């Protein structure tokens, strides 16, 4: 049994262009689907957040409409409530990458607020990339890649990735309210965003980096990470 590190947002809001705070956090499915897959495969999970803050679930992500009905929404909420790892995160600053077989970043709008500018997360991502260990990042999680910069060059420049697209942000009603769009910022950093159909599963593998476009991509991304772990 090996350990997998979940790096998660520590905020419960996302600051919009007009300065208002939109309540958010991490997206339930993007934590739960990989959590269940990794646990079922016998792996141990450790959660890390900036400052060791207990991560907040985006309440919208627990709605029936995003979980295929109320029954599954209740099941997802139950998994989160029972996941003791989420209640006892370690601080990102205390992470020793050598202890982990893989690293995974779920999304939600939270990472747009904190992980996008978190130097500790940026260093960890750079180390994970260089280590050759499986590194999974999904949906808005790739916002964290923006902080992996050294001497003005992004560590992920030239890598092919999937990430939440401008079309999806537009369809979710936030494109015109956001300070910046993830697809645009990644592209500006030299990252090659591979755009799939809105809301459909889309996973991109480039070397040890495995990325997913949206919540529906989190389960297939977890399967790919497990395959890579062997």
**What's the pLDDT at 1?**
74
**What's the pLDDT at 107?**
98
Can you list the residues of the chain whose pLDDT is less than 50? none
Provide the angle, in degrees to the nearest 10, between the axes of the packed helices 70-82 and 28-40: 70
Over residues 158-213, the pLDDT tens digits come to 999 999 999 999 999 999 999 999 999 999 999 999 999 999 999 999 999 999 99
Beta-carbon neighbour count of residue 51 at 10 Å? 12
Provide the angle, in degrees to the nearest 10, between the axes of the packed helices 218-229 and 28-40: 30
CB 9 within 8 A of CB 55: yes
**What's the pLDDT at 135?**
98
**What's the pLDDT at 63?**
98
Instruction: For residue 45, give the nearest of 11, 9, 89 by alpha carbon.
Output: 89
**What's the pLDDT at 3?**
98
Q: What are the backbone dihedrals phi and psi of residue 197, each rounded to the nearest 5 degrees, phi first?
A: -60, 140
**What's the pLDDT at 47?**
98
CA distances from 140 to 81, 120, 176 (A): 23, 18, 17
d(CA 195, CA 176): 20
């Amino acid at each position: 049994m090996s350990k997998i590190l979940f790096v998660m947002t520590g905020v419960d809001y996302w600051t919009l262009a007009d300065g208002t705070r939109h309540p958010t956090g991490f997206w339930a499915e993007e934590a739960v689907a990989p959590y269940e897959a990794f646990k079922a495969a016998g792996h141990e999970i450790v959660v890390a957040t900036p400052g060791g803050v207990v991560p907040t679930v985006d309440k919208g992500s627990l709605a029936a409409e995003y979980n295929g009905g109320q029954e599954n929404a209740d099941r997802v909420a139950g998994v989160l409530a029972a996941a003791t790892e989420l209640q006892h995160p370690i601080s990102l600053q205390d992470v020793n990458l050598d202890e982990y077989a893989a690293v995974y970043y779920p999304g939600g709008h939270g990472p747009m607020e904190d992980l996008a500018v978190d130097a500790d997360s940026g260093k960890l991502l750079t180390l994970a990339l260089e280590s050759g260990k499986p590194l999974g990042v999904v949906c808005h999680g790739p916002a964290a890649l923006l902080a992996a910069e050294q001497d003005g060059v992004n560590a992920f420049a030239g890598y092919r990735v999937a990430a939440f697209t401008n079309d999806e942000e537009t369809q979710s009603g936030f494109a015109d309210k956001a300070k910046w769009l993830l697809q645009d910022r990644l592209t500006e950093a030299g990252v090659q965003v591979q755009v799939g159909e809105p809301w459909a599963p889309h996973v991109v593998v480039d070397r040890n980096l495995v990325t997913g476009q949206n919540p529906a991509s989190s389960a297939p991304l977890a399967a790919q990470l497990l395959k890579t772990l062997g």
